[in-house]
Structure 1
Amino acid sequence: MSPAQQIARRRTLAIISHPDAGKTTLTEKFLLYGGAIHLAGSVKDRKAARATTSDWMEIEKQRGISISSTVLQFDYEGHAVNLLDTPGHKDFSEDTYRVLTAVDAALMVIDAAKGVEVQTRKLFEVCRRRGVPIFTLINKCDRPTRDPLELLDELETVLGIQASPINWPLGNGPSFRGVFDRLSSQVHLFERMAGGGAYKAPVKVASIGDAALRAQLDELSLAAATEQLAMLDGAGHAFDLAAVHAGAQSPIYFGSAINNFGIELLLRGFLRDSVPPAPRHSISRMAPGLPAPTTAREVPVAHDKFSGFVFKIQANMDPKHRDRIAFVRVCSGRFTRDMTVTHQRTGKSVRLSSSHKLFGQERETVDEAWPGDIVGLVGHSEFGIGDTLTEDRSIFYDEIPRFPSEVFAYLSSTSPAEAKKYRTGLAQLLQEGVVQSFQVRNAPSDTTLIAAVGTLQFEVVQHRLRAEYKADSRLSPAPWTLLRWIEPHPRLADLSSIVVASGVSFGHDKFEQPVVLFPNDWSLNYFVEKNPELRLHTLPLEQVAQSGSGQSAQSGANAANAV
């Protein structure tokens, strides 16, 4: 198979949703249809012997939620699929945001009874900003649902995207009988069975009013579906593949993941209509100091030199070995095991000898990979999130965004005897990006200021320190609720000359960029008013330079909560 054919058959996607919409269940069913697993785990029953393939952490199994994004790879009908299951809980949204930099498309799962929820909006906005094509599954159609036309209207109104249904539900909840495929005029019938739904052979019908349907649907459901489809034909958005690829239109599928219904239709439709790996942009290295414009050039996937970037690091996936894996998105060229590349951040040459294809917690050696693939590299402690690995020294990716934290706390060891294990574990978790850390003036001794989007991230840090490193820790509240990056300025050499409200502190991030921490919105606004020559940003300075329009504090104290 030629390199062009290898690349063309790759599909790399993330599944995103609000918690409990059925995202992890859908992941399991994709793997089931792809032949990667033979028995899907039960997401709801955590006491069962089986557990989902993607939720492998002990704390995930206890809580019944996804905490860390997981890479799962399988082949299906000639396609090589890289599937990334992501956390739905808002406290772990930073992990999801990073994952979205590594995919070419996203699949959004919506609960048919609840519609568009808060976290769905945030994740969708990240996809839209990056121009990621979005496919939508309206899930749980075998349960009582909202009116499907109302759901479509909400998608378009709230998310600002065209909704084009590929199939349409026949019935609602207890009366749900299947879906009508608008493209092929076929009906796929749903049959309730113990342990899940099953397919009957698709039935070809001339129209929604065909006699074959009358034997399956009650008159009220048939009349409702007939009216709804007529409205879609007359006033709905026709399927437009170019608009889908541009992220302006989302193909809509209806189904029930828990019952295996509509999932294979969705998988086939996604693989047919989604995009293969796309070119990435390489930027010029920036000099430290004030933000400066950057130049970018497009790196084609067919470039003859390998390049990729690290978008995730995970330690202790294999408790027996206590190793760490750097997940790399291949962007160009051909990856081969034992190849030597340049680690751009350090400028050093490294040999990539321990490379793996991931399947949740399991792994197997991979000898080659192509653009779109995700490769797990074991044993490189020098790799960090966002690092570029390449055979072409002129390529430098800067794909990984950082976001302002919203909660802050001091973390410390509870026992001098465990201090070494505590330091080792915390350093590893910080490198993974589980939380951020900052140095701040006048911090309590022997503590680390950690920061996150949500407090549940702190719980994960403490749990993993205890479970994986045998080190207990103590969490103490910190007085701040807002953080801003500040542009370098001569006045920073004498902080006493800066007028601040009570409770404001100065510090720096792990890249030595200065930050200011505020206890509330009022203290932030007071700082801006009294020190107009000091410019604050909700984003790190390198992201401000790349975007050319980083939010400043003057644009509003609530900007920190923006995606």
Structure 2
Amino acid sequence: MSIENLRNIGISAHIDSGKTTLSERILFYAGRLHRMEEVHDGGGATMDHMDLEQERGITITSAATCVDWGQHQINLIDTPGHVDFTVEVERSLRVLDGAVLVLCGVGGVQSQSLTVDRQIKRYGVPRVIFINKLDRTGADPMRVCEEVRARLGVTAVLMQLPIGLGADLQGVVDLVTMQSVYFDGNNGEDLRREAIPESMQDEAAVAREEMLEQLAMFDDELMELCLEDREISEEMIHRIVRRATIDLAIAPVFLGSAYRNKGVQPLLDAVVGYLPSPGDCETTAYASSQSPAITQVDETDETGQPEEELDSDSEEIDQAVQAQEGDQNEIQLQPDPSATLVAMTFKIVDDAFGQLTFTRIYQGTLERGGTYYNQRTRRKERFSRIYRMHAENREEVDRAEAGDIVAVMGIEANSGDTYASIRDFCTLEGMFVPEPVIGVAVRPQDRLDEDRLTQALQRFRREDPTFRVATDPETNEVVIKGMGELHLEVYLERIRREYKVVVESGAPQVAYREAPTRAADFNYRHKKQTGGAGQFAHIVGRLDVFDGTDDEPFEFEDNIVGGRIPRQYIPSIEKGFQGCLEKGPVARYPVIGVRVELNDGSYHEVDSSDKAFQTAAAACFRENFRKMKPVLLEPIMNIEIECPRDFQGAVTGDLNSRRGMVLSSDMAGEICTICAQVPLSETFGYATDLRSLSQGQATFTMELDCYRRVPTKLQEEIVSERRDPKKPGGVGTQYSTSA
């Protein structure tokens, strides 16, 4: 298939917006399924193939499939909507060329919609928007479009109008062809196009004019035709919409109800018509610091045979050399099957058959049995099998070309690794991985199960970059960390089911941070004489405060002039300071927000060394950090709650009792949406409490917003608990058995 006819897209949304139902309809209309599966049916949706997904009615892991639509092939990834599994959305969008953002016609732009929007923008992914659930009471696509423009800052261009809303939803008006579209047959599979109902003709004319005015902002020829009131062809509209979408200037908006089988086929037409092919996308890689032109391969491969030396005149080396001579060592990859292979691994799944690694091919051809270089480890690995995936089912293929998304076996990769035909060729930019915000200590109920628990934790850590496993050096307890209670709850349940290990867990532990509140000057001299060569290092400067984050917890400013400290020692000084950030003096939590200004110092020609300066920096930090009056910071969560109007007061009062701050409270019919900020430590067990408050009628989502200073009295309690092993949160943990 021509690469122009290939589409790599993801479906993303706030939880319970109908995203997986939409995926199921796409599979049905494209001929992949012969009967529709429902998320809440006993059998569960095809794309939600895990038992836990089918039982809970939510998507936990992203699932990939491919379908044919007309002359096009669509590689489709259905992603989770719950914020605890947001890394699945993150790594999917990193390798996709386009996205369908699904919004609820009643709920509109919700908390996870904002998160997905940030992820889409982070990777520059063009999108179309599908406003779903227009069959529900209170649905209002016009209001949702305004929310998209106001809250997401996206130019939403309405391409359709609904024919009826709620129980009266019948079809849509196509504003390009100016026809009404109805979805007949038992499952909406038969499209019927007719003239626009007379009662809607004026409304449709106004909506089309608004659409053309928006598009004219991106095309001078269209602007001229609009001003002259001349006829505008459908082909011109399609061309402009496609170009503006790929340029990230607009997001075309389509309407329907996936559950009622309305609006899905026009959405698929938009996917192939407006979203880019791999050939429309620019992909930049970065040449390795050791290019093939400099480092010749002269070691043996896995078989013990000498590896083939690279031809210094090869096109591959020329490409890397030209990149190194260009700006920032950049390589512009070409979706050419005959070029050097460049591929990226983005998801890992371990099962009974071995490690399955999902891979996006950006350039070249991947062949079964071929050997390629992991650009991180510089090791040559054999790709023993290549599969096209359909949820949990596999279709083995002999090769995959530029633009394809496949799963492979035989390699030991991490998420985000780059593979290429030759070693030290290039590296693709990795993906953003958020830091965990919650942790619990775990141990097997039966000590004989320790090995199986370790095996399970190692597997899940490989699969999920946001799932962390560490051993507390003070208590020797195993601590697992993740994005929220549900995240860890799912993994504990999977350990019980898949490994037959009953796990006992401690109380949730909040990932606090320590941060300074004032600056401190330092003048530290390290001198040690033990016979023979001694140690000498002298550093002078200032420890200052800045708004640090987990991604950038530390800044180092080198102001040394005149050779007061030789240049080769500066990295060791920085390393010494940075090494102290892992565990602060207040309560042994990580330190953020420290800037080091190194202004002066001295050295000894014989006794100074990297080790001496690193030791001096570490000792200097420990001596001076308390002078900066450090405090504890706690994670603050954005929480969005939907509940019936009758429970608004009870829910708001409960939030206030949790040190929460209500930001807004909006009504849509009988449903109230409450947005608030609450400390993470106050949210443990909130799902159960909210069910009780609302008689099971309220739902909520949470995501990390920021870190904020802990109140003084609470900080004293936290520090006391950390130092007293008998208290909850102390170094000794009270365990309970997982359900």
Query: Paired residue for 1:426, among 445, 457, 475?
Result: 457
- 2:10 match: secondary structure: strand
The CA deviation string for residues 473-530 of structure 1, in whole angstroms up to 9 with x for no partner, is: 222232434583655532356789x9743353579xxxxxxxxxxxxxxxxxx98955
Quote the Cα distance in structure 2 between the aligned partners of 1:87 and 1:444. 35
- Does the aligned pair in 1 maintain the 2:433–2:465 contact within 8 Å? no
2:81 aligned partner: 88
Which of 392, 397, 401 is 1:366 aligned to? 397
> Please, which moves more after superposition, 229-238 or 106-115?
229-238
Q: Contact conserved, 2:584 with 2:590, CA < 8 A, in 1?
A: no
CA distance in 2, matches of 1:351, 1:11: 28
1:376-430 deviation per Cα after TM superposition (whole angstroms, max 9, x unaligned): 11243x2111111110331212322221222222233322211111111110110
The answer for the alignment partner of 1:30 in structure 2 is 26
Asked if structure 1 preserves the Cα contact closer than 8 Å seen for 2:139 and 2:166, the reply is: no
2:383 matches 1:352 = yes
Provide the rounded CA distance (Å) in 2 between the counterparts of 1:16 and 1:431.
24
Q: Is the 8 A contact 1:68 1:92 kept in 2?
A: yes
Q: Structure 1 residues 494 and 42 mapped into 2: Cα distance closer, same or farther (>3 Å)?
A: closer
Larger Rg: 2
The equivalent residue for 1:283 is 286
Label 1:236 to 1:474 Cα distance change in 2 as closer, same or farther (>3 A).
same
Contact map agreement 1:15 1:84 (CA 8 A) in 2:
yes
Equivalent in 457, 460, 469 of residue 490 of structure 2: 460
- Pairing 1:304–2:336 present: no
Aligned partners of 2:5 and 2:626: how far apart in 1? 54
Give the match's secondary structure for 1:101: helix
User: Any conservation in 1 of the 2:472–2:478 contact (CA below 8 Å)?
Assistant: no
User: Is the partner of 2:55 in helix, strand or coil?
Assistant: helix
Whole-angstrom CA distance in 2 between matches of 1:155 and 1:443: 49
Partner of residue 136, structure 1? 129
**What is the CA–CA distance in structure 1 between the aligned matches of 2:255 and 2:58, rounded to whole Å?**
23
In structure 2, do the counterparts of structure 1 residues 9 and 234 end up closer, same or farther at CA, with 3 Å as the change threshold?
Answer: closer
Residue pair 2:470, 2:480 contacting (<8 A) in 1 also: no
Which residue does 2:91 correspond to in 1?
98
> Hey, what does 1:475 align to over in structure 2?
505
Residues 1:306 and 1:198: Cα distance change in structure 2 (over 3 Å)? closer
Inter-partner Cα distance in structure 2 for 1:200 and 1:358? 29
Q: Structure 2: any 5+ residue segments left out of the alignment?
A: 217-239, 291-326, 514-548, 555-573, 593-624, 632-703, 709-739
Query: 2:207 is matched with which residue?
Result: 229
Shift of 1:138: 0.6
> Does 1:450 pair with 2:499?
no
How far is 1:147 from its partner?
A: 3.2
1:113-152 aligned within 5 A: 113-152=106-145
The partner residue of 1:490 within 550, 570, 576 is 576
1:407 touches 1:480 (CA, 8 Å); kept in 2?
Answer: yes
Shift of 1:444: 2.4
* 8 A Cα contact 2:85 2:483, kept in partner: yes
Q: 1:438–1:459: structure 2 CA closer, same or farther, 3 Å change rule? A: closer
CA–CA separation in structure 2 for the residues paired with 1:233 and 1:276: 24
Cα distance change on mapping 1:531 and 1:282 into 2, 3 Å: farther
Partner of 2:38: 42
- Give 1:153's aligned residue: 146
**Residues 346 and 560 of structure 1: CA distance in aligned 2, closer, same or farther (over 3 Å):** farther
Letter in 1 for 2:36: A
Deviations 1:439-487 (A, max 9, x none): 4763421x33322222211012111212222222222232434583655
The separation in 2 between residues aligned to 1:420 and 1:438, in whole angstroms, is: 15
SS at structure 2 position matched to 1:312: strand
Distance 1:127 1:527 in 2: 41
Residues 453 and 294 (structure 1), Cα distance of their counterparts in 2 relative to 1, 3 Å cut: farther
Scaled by the length of structure 1, the TM-score of the pair is 0.79
Distance 1:232 1:560 in 2: 43
Q: Relative to 1, partners in 2 of residues 1:499 and 1:456: Cα closer, same or farther, differing over 3 Å?
A: closer
* Sequence identity (%): 26
Partner of 1:313: 348
How far 1:71 sits from its partner (Å)? 0.7
- Partner-residue secondary structure (3-state), 2:414: coil
Residue in structure 1 matching 2:372, options 341, 345, 361: 341
**1:389 and 2:389 equivalent?**
no
Q: Which residue of 1 aligns with 2:408?
A: 377
| Partners of 2:627 and 2:90 in 1: CA distance | 29
1:197 CA drift (Å): 4.3
CA 1:224/1:324 → structure 2, altered by over 3 Å: closer, same or farther?
A: farther
| Corresponding residue for residue 251 of structure 1 | 252
Q: Which amino acid in structure 2 is aligned with residue 301 of structure 1?
A: P
Contact 1:309 1:386 in 2 (8 A): yes
Q: Is the 8 A contact 2:581 2:590 kept in 1?
A: no
Structure 1 residue 229 displacement after superposition? 2.3
1:183 equivalent among 176, 179, 193: 176
Pick from 162, 167, 176: which aligns with 1:174?
Answer: 167
Which stretch shifts more, 364-373 or 110-119?
A: 364-373
Instruction: Find the aligned partners of 2:587 and 2:190 in 1 and give their Cα distance.
Output: 66
In structure 1, what is the Cα distance between the partners aligned to 2:143 and 2:213? 14
1:17 touches 1:108 (CA, 8 Å); kept in 2? yes
- 2:646: which partner in 1? none
Show the 5 A alignment for 1:512-523.
none
Distance 1:40 1:270 in 2: 21
Measured against aligned partners, the alpha-carbon deviations of 1:112-149 in whole angstroms (never above 9, x if no partner) come to 11111110111011111211001111112222344332
RMSD: 3.0
Size of the alignment, in residue pairs? 485
Which structure has more relative contact order (CA 8 Å, sep 6+)? It is 1
CA spacing shift, 1:493–1:126, aligned 2, 3 Å: closer
Q: How far, CA to CA, are the matches of 2:166 and 2:202 in structure 1? A: 14
Distance 1:499 1:309, change over 3 A: closer
Instruction: Show the counterpart of 1:16.
Output: 12
TM-score normalised by length of structure 2: 0.61
The CA deviation string for residues 246-303 of structure 1, in whole angstroms up to 9 with x for no partner, is 222101101111122111111012101111113422224579xxxxx96432222226
Displacement after TM superposition at 1:157 (Å): 0.6
Question: CA shift at 1:167, angstroms?
Answer: 1.5
Residues 348 and 358 of structure 2 are in contact (CA less than 8 Å); yes or no, is this contact kept in structure 1?
A: yes
Equivalent position amino acid for 1:299 in 2:
L
Q: Is the 8 A contact 1:199 1:261 kept in 2?
A: no
User: Partner residue of 1:52?
Assistant: 45
Letter in 2 for 1:80: Q
User: Structure 1 residues 233, 134: closer, same or farther in 2, change over 3 A?
Assistant: closer
Deviates further, 422-431 or 172-181: 172-181
Distance in 2, Cα, partners of 1:334 & 1:450 = 39
Return the offset for 1:27: 0.6
Distance 2:78 2:587 in 1: 43
Deviations 1:65-90 (A, max 9, x none): 00000011122212121100000011
Aligned residue for 2:435? Answer: 404
Flag the 1:138–1:499 CA change in 2: closer, same or farther, 3 A.
closer
Q: Is the 8 A contact 2:175 2:204 kept in 1?
A: no
